[in-house]
Every structure is written in C-alpha cells, then in structure tokens.
Amino acid sequence: MAKRKKKNPLLTASTLLPLAIGVASGGLPSLPRATATAAAGKGFHLSCTLPFDSIAQRHSVDDSCGPTGNAKLPDPRALQNRAKNNFCAKGAAVNIDFEVLHQLQQDAEDRGVTFGNDSQIPDDRSELRHLATKAGSIGEGTVARIAAFVIKAHPSNVGKGKGESVNCKLTDKESNDIHIVLGEKSNHDEECSSVTAEMSPHFRPDIWDAGVLMNNNEHLYRFTGQLFFDASHRPCTAAGKGSPKRSSIWEIHPVYEVEICTDPSNNCKVGSEQDWVPLSGSVGTEETNETRLLLPDEILSQFARPSATRQPRTILASP
C-alpha cells in the first residue's frame, strides 16, 4: 500500500497574511480561474508572461477589450491606452520615492510634453523615456517600486455615463481600474500631495481589491509596476487642484505586484526585502486542499514578537 502523505503543519504567518487580509475584507479570495497566457480568441493578448501570472484571474473585459481600448491607432488615445496596458516591461525594479515622481513631472514639462485632458495627450511618447532623476535615467516603461500609505482606493469610472477609453467605456467595477491614492507620510495625507497607483482590470486577482487595501491601510504598502505618464490629467498646482487630486501625473500603472509591511512601526524600506510579504494568492494542504486563515492582528503580533510561543489560531478552513 502506498504511504499516505503527511498532512502539512499549520502554514507560516508570512504565507497566510494575504489570506488573513482577505478575511478582514469580508470575503475569501478565490482561486485563479485562468492565467493570461491561456487566453484564446479575441480580446487582450500578451507577448509575455504576466508578472503576476501565478495568481491571475480571467474577467470578461479580457475577452472583449484589447490593449488600445476603444481607440484605434494612430490616435494618441490609442497610444496612451497601449502604454497603460503594458504588462511586459522588463528589468529589475528601480526604487523610487515621491521626489522622483515630482522630478519626472518637471522633466516632462521641461520637454514640452502636453497634458491636461484627452485633447492634450501627446502623439509622440518617446519624449517620456530616459528622463534624468536621482534614481537614474528612467521614464515610461521603466519597472519601478514605491513604498507608501493608501489614502483611498476605489474602482474608477464606474456608473452610468462613465467608463474609460482604455477599458472600452465599460462601466462595471470588474472592468475598470482600481485607483489608489498614495500618501508619503501617512494614510491621512492631503490628496494634493499624493501620487497614484492603478490596478488594471485585466487578469486582476480578486485579492487585489479596494476594500482589502483600505481595511489594512494603517500598514505601509509597496507597489511595483511600470512607470506611466497619464496625460489625460494634471497635477495640483498653485493655480488649481487636479482631478483627481495628485502631486504628479506619473503613476505606477499597471501594478505588477503588491506587498504589505509587517513591521508594526512601518519601518520597511523600499529597497529592502525585510518585513515585506505579498498581498496575493491562496494556499492549502496537499491532502485536503484546506485553506487555513489567521486573524491579521495575530499574524502581525507574531512578526512583532518572534519569540512568542503562542500558536496562531485557525479561524476558517474551506475546501
């Protein structure tokens, strides 16, 4: 008789943190329905493997809306939509901060790049590459990561009469970006001092949810993705507030990876791997496929007191 596999021990806190966050948001993250590389037929096709391929989930927008949205080349809107949908940027992530995004804003303005509304979208985006910053020569298409607090997170362009060109003017939450307002010092910073990260609807995992982000926004996050210049908007200035409010229209868009800081004092550094855990996925035992979840405060207390002997409490198991 074949030897029966031994049941896995209770999973580690770092593995289970993303699942605990899912519980805090009121729901259990579902397993991936399909990966982007399995796409077939019309819609969104990729020439690369998604940065988050192992947790990607398929949505109806993936089958109905391509990389240029509802615009057609060589329309500048189509060029911008294609840039927004770049999941294939390569290279090690450059560590940036708010000052770098402000430098990029100034560099783009110095080069005469137009922005402010859809009629001001540049028809040549080459000027947005290789800009000088304290983080080096970077620009649109550079993979970057930033550590920040989440001030707000919500689906964008939803409801009657809304919708966005990049998402083919679809108006449901599942088919639109999650707009994330990032604060440098706290989750209560003024929005005009903020910068932006955007989660594309394409292949977005369910755990990448606005409610999950907001329910845990006392913790520092790290967002990795490509740098993108959203020329449809303008930053806050002395002359007026942007819409939406922000200090730079350079964004992390689309997001490739989300991590959360487990240090109780939020001392995680953008360039260090210490104390960051991914906000992603679901896990189970080999034998029963059970998913074990822990309360967020129990997990974080373990990181704060690594010598504690108290065993974490399992609060939910689901097939």
CA angle at 115 for the pair 111 and 117, rounded to the nearest 5°: 170
Helix (H, G, I), strand (E, B) or coil at 186: coil
H helices of 139-293, in order, are: 210-215
Asked whether residue 5 is assigned to any structural domain, the reply reads no
Same domain, 45 and 168: yes
Q: Are strands 250-261 and 276-278 parallel, antiparallel or unpaired?
A: antiparallel
**Gap between the Cα atoms of 111 and 230, Å rounded:** 16
**Gap between the Cα atoms of 282 and 30, Å rounded:** 8
Q: Which among 142, 81, 133 has a CA at the least distance from the CA of 107?
A: 133
Same domain, 234 and 295: no
Same domain, 20 and 104: no
What are the tens digits of pLDDT across the range 77-101? 999 999 999 999 999 999 999 999 9
**Gap between the Cα atoms of 275 and 297, Å rounded:** 15
Same domain, 232 and 304: no
Same domain, 61 and 189: yes
Are the beta carbons of 191 and 245 closer than 8 angstroms?
Answer: yes
Question: What percent of the chain is predicted at pLDDT more than 70?
Answer: 75
Same domain, 130 and 230: yes
Q: What is the model's pLDDT at position 31?
A: 35
Are the beta carbons of 144 and 224 closer than 8 angstroms?
Answer: yes
Could you tell me the residue range of the domain that residue 103 belongs to?
36-277
Q: Is the dihedral of CA 240, 243, 244, 250 positive or negative?
A: negative
Bridge partner list, 196: 181, 251
Bridge partner list, 316: 293
Asked whether residue 244 is assigned to any structural domain, the reply reads yes
Bridge partner list, 248: none
**Gap between the Cα atoms of 57 and 32, Å rounded:** 5
Asked whether residue 301 is assigned to any structural domain, the reply reads yes
Same domain, 232 and 310: no
What are the tens digits of pLDDT across the range 103-141? 999 999 999 999 999 999 999 999 999 999 999 999 999
pLDDT band at 225 (very low <50, low <70, confident <90, very high): very high
Domain count, the chain: 2
Asked whether residue 60 is assigned to any structural domain, the reply reads yes
Q: What angle do the packed helices 296-304 and 13-24 form, to 10 degrees?
A: 150
**Residue whose tokens read 């209560």:** 188
Asked whether residue 61 is assigned to any structural domain, the reply reads yes
**Gap between the Cα atoms of 315 and 294, Å rounded:** 6
CB count within 10 Å of CB 285 equals 17
Asked whether residue 1 is assigned to any structural domain, the reply reads no
Asked whether residue 73 is assigned to any structural domain, the reply reads yes
What are the tens digits of pLDDT across the range 149-194? 999 999 999 988 889 999 999 999 999 999 999 999 999 999 999 9
Same domain, 120 and 62: yes
Q: Are strands 250-261 and 195-199 parallel, antiparallel or unpaired?
A: parallel
Same domain, 257 and 303: no
Beta strand ranges found along the chain (DSSP E): 94-95, 131-133, 136-138, 143-155, 178-183, 195-199, 221-229, 250-261, 276-278, 291-293, 316-318
Same domain, 121 and 151: yes
Same domain, 103 and 195: yes
Question: What percent of the chain is predicted at pLDDT more than 90?
Answer: 71
Is residue 195 over pLDDT 70?
Answer: yes
Residues 255-277, mean pLDDT to the nearest whole number: 96
Same domain, 294 and 199: no
pLDDT band at 40 (very low <50, low <70, confident <90, very high): very low
